[in-house]
Structure 1
Amino acid sequence: MRFLHLLLPLLIASALHAAGPNVLFIMTDDYRPELASYGSPAITPNMDRLARRSVQFDRAYCQQAVCNPSRSSMLTGLRPDTLGLWNNGTHFRELKPGVMTLPLWFKQQGYTTRCVGKIFHNWHTAEKGDRRSWSADEFLHYANHGNDTPQIAGELPPNEITAPSLRNYGEVPLCECRDVPDEAYFDGRVAAEAVKVLAEVKDGPFFLAVGFWKPHAPFNAPKKYWDLYDRDKLPPLNPARPEGAPELAFHASTEVLGPVGEQVPPTPEQVAEMRHGYFANISYLDAQLGKVLDALEKSGVAENTVITFVGDHGYHLGEHSLWGKTSTFDYDARVPFMIARADGKNGGAKTDSLAELVDLFPTLVEMCGLPIPEGLEGDSLAAVVADPAVSVKPAAFTQHPRPAYFDREPEKRPKAMGYSVRTGGVRYTEWRDWLTGEVVAKELYDHRTDSAELKNRTGAPELAKEEAVAAKLLLAQFPIVKR
């Protein structure tokens, strides 16, 4: 009886915690904000539909523009430097075995937590997921993007790409256009499984994470999504490097262009093909999102479900002479970011409040009325969702090492780290020697006149005050470290 007396308050507390709204957590991969609601020519009717229900953060940023560090930071609420994680080859639990994750916290508060698709990094083996965070086994959470070959019954339709593909991306051409059903590729199967799982958990409370693999390369959406676009009407490409930018700001674009020693400059037709393919991938992703939103609306629990939609980082499509991610430029750092309240209040609103992916953990916890765990490094954005005119932070921070993939180098450590701060008006970046902490290069871009970041203005007298403020914010977040 004494045991029951002690246990009863815990059971009641758990039941109360689990009484909050459900969460539909949607993540995309390599997705810069190319959505119609962000002013892009991308054809995204379902994302637009979600935007009409959500508060859209127009200035949201990742903590590092590559998959594993970004996702690990977002899902633990800790910055890459706190995790000690800056590469794709290290699992966060190798460094912090007992660290709390966003889905695990919801699970401990009485929620059923499920994972469909790529949420944590795709570790290529099932054993390196994070099974403890979920109430059941994950689905299609591990693989290689280059293994996303079309799977259909019968004869495979031909690849209708007009230009020879620049290279193979794993097992498939970098660009592929086949008249196949959505389920031929990963994301079609992710959407189908998400609909199935939603039916299983809808009696809630649930935390359902749906991780789409697109628009990450390869650019191989089914043909009908390529057909949505006239590539001649897509935004023109300006490949110019920013004037006065240090060499450390750039990288070799190996993910898209291939190993340095094997790279061949893409032809204009190949450039157009890849850019077209990225937009086709976006519309394919959008259609899969629509299937999940339809299922939520039919489930009867949409009005008791918080929805969040984010990208893990941005992407370059030839701008700044770069392809892929791994820089601190806005093209890589800025992400699509929406949060929809369960009651739909402020749906369709947009906010200029700065936001970071590390903020998602405390935000969702607060919006669901759960206790917030100690030690999180983000700020809750719940106040902004309640009033889009509110701002809760003065800056957003992004970083990236050089070499970009240092774990592939003999020394297995960075030579330099780029630390970047985005304020309301500028982006300021310091490149610091990894061992000494010495600042070896700086960048400053005035976003009021140069949103494409085409001229480094560090040292400009007219921006001296803003540069000093940004430098102070950066130093407070990232003190100089000697290793």
Structure 2
Amino acid sequence: MKKRWIVFYVLVAGLANAAERPNVLFVAIDDLNDWIGCFDGHPQVQTPNLDKFNAEGGMVMYDAHCSSTVCGPSRSSLLTGKYPHNTGVYGNTTNLRNAPKTKDLLTLPQYFSTHGYHTLSSGKIFHKHPVPGDKGNAKGDEGQWAFDEWVPLKGGVGAISKDRPVNGLPALLSDKSYHAKGFDWGPTIGNDETKMKDYITAEWAAEQLNTREFEKPFFMAIGLSKPHLPWYVPQKYFDRYPLEDIELPKTIPDDLEDIKNKFGKPVKPHNTWVRVETAGRHKEAVQAYLATITFLDDCVGVLLDGLANSKYADNTIVMLWGDHGWHLGEKQKYGKTQLWQESCRVPMMVKVPGVTPDNKQCMGVVNLIDMYPTLIDLCGLPKNPENDGRSFAKLLQNPDMKWNTPTLSDYGYGGHRIYDGRYSYIVFTEQGTEELYDHKNDPMEWNNLINNPEYEAIKERLKALVPTEREPESPRNGK
């Protein structure tokens, strides 16, 4: 404990010689929920590399949540340090560089570059947006401008069939969303994971760590795209999860009946859930997601082994995170969005060499938006007054301390969730829906307590934290 105090003090106080500051490995994972072994996620999931990382000091932030449940606004939020309701960046079609409230902010990598770090990146960190005049979006804006060094993705292997969807899941005639064809899975051509983009990205990062002499401390941001749809991975990963043995998440048939809008009508099941339910293919969907997670875990293993075998291992902070959660049938839904637990809770793991303990789950309530101020503190950089988040550097040093200040997640204009570690209050002001859940007694959020008088005081306490001022939606791409 005394040793951790000393190391922590040095990191937080900063070092006189900037070159001695810790490096940062910032690892983004797209659409990964809590189905990881060391998060007590799905009981059958195979994630040996993430579990090994936890065993070697990669502390599990067990109660971590996102500031938005959609890729674009989640990443824009955590990278600028501002909540969506304070910027108007609510959807995937808004580029933060075009939003009046964010276009002049220093993003996290820019802040580190400004303060003496060499920043480099490959893979998905920022959400990709079209560039005016760029036919086919071949040279889209992927946040290249935010890094000193940026390497585009290479490689990739397609599915064994040219048909879409490969899985043959019938679409609803009324469904015009991305999921109509994008909700898909199947094996790739060949059976070689090393040709997949994420694997190549992980190998590139490992090579940088083992062959380069960095003259400055580095901030390396690596983005891994799986398990984002479609779930196309080599057959060997499907084989790891025999279909007949698949365990489905627990659900109840009338889950949405107690969530009423302002007209008194209950929320409807998600279109994709209806498709899967009608076709009776829930096990196949869960198998495909599990298979893709295990492929992702192999990529993480390549990356983390690369760091462990490098000379930078003992002076590099690792912050690994998923941009939001994902439903696999819970709340009669497949996918992200909305503000239920399965969408809001995210996998986050943090390793500060000499500080974070082995095999540890930290139960403190944190948010992805807190990563910006936390990394600033850990690396001894000046605080950024623009940050909305709260540094949890002290929690990393003392992971058993009480840390349950309520946290916020936004979804669209007027959608908010306040969560304090036990209770979650959800409101959609436009639709008129309200929800209240007690996670101690109802972890799957089956019982909406919003009209239960015994919980009135709890409801009012959390409701008082809901933002009352919201920025209008910022311009969308092409407008």
* TM-score (norm: length of structure 2): 0.83
The answer for the alignment partner of 1:175 in structure 2 is 185
CA distance in 1, matches of 2:361, 2:340: 23
Q: 1:239 to 1:103 in 2, by over 3 A?
A: farther
Q: 1:304 to 1:480 in 2, by over 3 A?
A: closer
Q: Using the TM superposition, give the Cα deviation of residue 231 of structure 1 relative to its aligned residue in structure 2, in angstroms.
A: 3.3
The answer for the alignment partner of 1:119 in structure 2 is 125
The answer for the alignment partner of 2:148 in structure 1 is 135
The answer as to 2:51 corresponding to 1:48 is yes
The answer for the alignment partner of 2:8 in structure 1 is none
The answer for the alignment partner of 1:75 in structure 2 is 79
Q: Percent identity?
A: 28
Aligned residue type for 2:106: M
Q: 1:99 to 1:448 in 2, by over 3 A?
A: same
The answer for the alignment partner of 2:61 in structure 1 is 57
Structure 1 contact 354–391 (Cα < 8 Å) conserved: no
Q: Deviations over 1:97-132 (max 9, x none)?
A: 221111111111221111111010133543412223
Q: Using the TM superposition, give the Cα deviation of residue 150 of structure 1 relative to its aligned residue in structure 2, in angstroms.
A: 2.5
The answer as to 2:422 corresponding to 1:425 is yes
CA distance in 2, matches of 1:253, 1:148: 31
The answer for the alignment partner of 1:207 in structure 2 is 219
The answer as to 2:101 corresponding to 1:98 is no
CA distance in 1, matches of 2:217, 2:452: 54
The answer for the alignment partner of 2:453 in structure 1 is 461
CA distance in 1, matches of 2:424, 2:212: 43
Q: Using the TM superposition, give the Cα deviation of residue 338 of structure 1 relative to its aligned residue in structure 2, in angstroms.
A: 1.1
Q: Using the TM superposition, give the Cα deviation of residue 271 of structure 1 relative to its aligned residue in structure 2, in angstroms.
A: 2.2
Q: 1:388 aligns with which of 370, 394, 399?
A: 399
Using the TM superposition, name which of 111-120 and 124-133 deviates more.
124-133
Q: 1:459 to 1:128 in 2, by over 3 A?
A: same
Secondary structure of the corresponding residue to residue 198 of structure 2 = helix
Q: 1:452 to 1:420 in 2, by over 3 A?
A: same
Q: 1:331 to 1:169 in 2, by over 3 A?
A: closer
CA distance in 1, matches of 2:471, 2:237: 50
Structure 1 contact 242–453 (Cα < 8 Å) conserved: no
The answer for the alignment partner of 1:309 in structure 2 is 320
Secondary structure of the corresponding residue to residue 186 of structure 2 = coil
Q: 2:234 aligns with which of 205, 219, 222?
A: 222
Q: Using the TM superposition, give the Cα deviation of residue 270 of structure 1 relative to its aligned residue in structure 2, in angstroms.
A: 2.7
Q: Using the TM superposition, give the Cα deviation of residue 58 of structure 1 relative to its aligned residue in structure 2, in angstroms.
A: 1.0
CA distance in 2, matches of 1:337, 1:265: 29
Structure 1 contact 14–109 (Cα < 8 Å) conserved: no
Q: Deviations over 1:245-271 (max 9, x none)?
A: 1359957746x57xxxxx855545532
Q: Deviations over 1:260-314 (max 9, x none)?
A: xxx8555455322111100101000000000011111111211111001110000
CA distance in 1, matches of 2:196, 2:209: 21
Aligned residue type for 2:151: E
Aligned residue type for 1:27: A
Aligned residue type for 2:248: P
Q: Deviations over 1:390-447 (max 9, x none)?
A: 244511111213xxxxxxxxxxxx5xx22110112211012213xxxxx822110111
The answer for the alignment partner of 1:410 in structure 2 is none
Task: Using CA pairs under 8 Å that are at least 6 residues apart, name the structure with larger relative contact order, 1 or 2.
Answer: 2
CA distance in 1, matches of 2:103, 2:166: 49
CA distance in 1, matches of 2:386, 2:458: 30
Unaligned runs of 5+ in 1: 1-12, 142-146, 258-262, 402-413, 434-438
The answer for the alignment partner of 1:22 in structure 2 is 23
Structure 2 contact 257–267 (Cα < 8 Å) conserved: no
The answer as to 2:467 corresponding to 1:470 is no
Q: Using the TM superposition, give the Cα deviation of residue 59 of structure 1 relative to its aligned residue in structure 2, in angstroms.
A: 0.8
Q: Using the TM superposition, give the Cα deviation of residue 73 of structure 1 relative to its aligned residue in structure 2, in angstroms.
A: 0.4
The answer as to 2:448 corresponding to 1:451 is no
Q: 1:22 to 1:90 in 2, by over 3 A?
A: same
The number of residues matched between the two structures is 433
Q: Deviations over 1:51-109 (max 9, x none)?
A: 12122111111011110000010111111112210010111010122211111111112
Q: Deviations over 1:377-401 (max 9, x none)?
A: 0000100100002244511111213
Q: 1:466 to 1:173 in 2, by over 3 A?
A: closer
CA distance in 1, matches of 2:181, 2:206: 28
Aligned residue type for 1:16: N
Q: Using the TM superposition, give the Cα deviation of residue 466 of structure 1 relative to its aligned residue in structure 2, in angstroms.
A: 1.7
Aligned residue type for 1:357: L
Q: 1:173 to 1:449 in 2, by over 3 A?
A: closer
Q: 1:467 to 1:264 in 2, by over 3 A?
A: closer
The answer for the alignment partner of 1:244 in structure 2 is 258
Secondary structure of the corresponding residue to residue 363 of structure 1 = helix
Q: 1:423 to 1:340 in 2, by over 3 A?
A: same
* TM-score (norm: length of structure 1): 0.82
Q: 1:306 to 1:482 in 2, by over 3 A?
A: closer
Secondary structure of the corresponding residue to residue 58 of structure 1 = strand
CA distance in 2, matches of 1:242, 1:428: 16
CA distance in 1, matches of 2:37, 2:383: 34
Q: Deviations over 1:311-361 (max 9, x none)?
A: 000011121111111110000000011111022542322121100000000
Aligned residue type for 1:355: V
Secondary structure of the corresponding residue to residue 283 of structure 1 = helix
Aligned residue type for 1:121: H
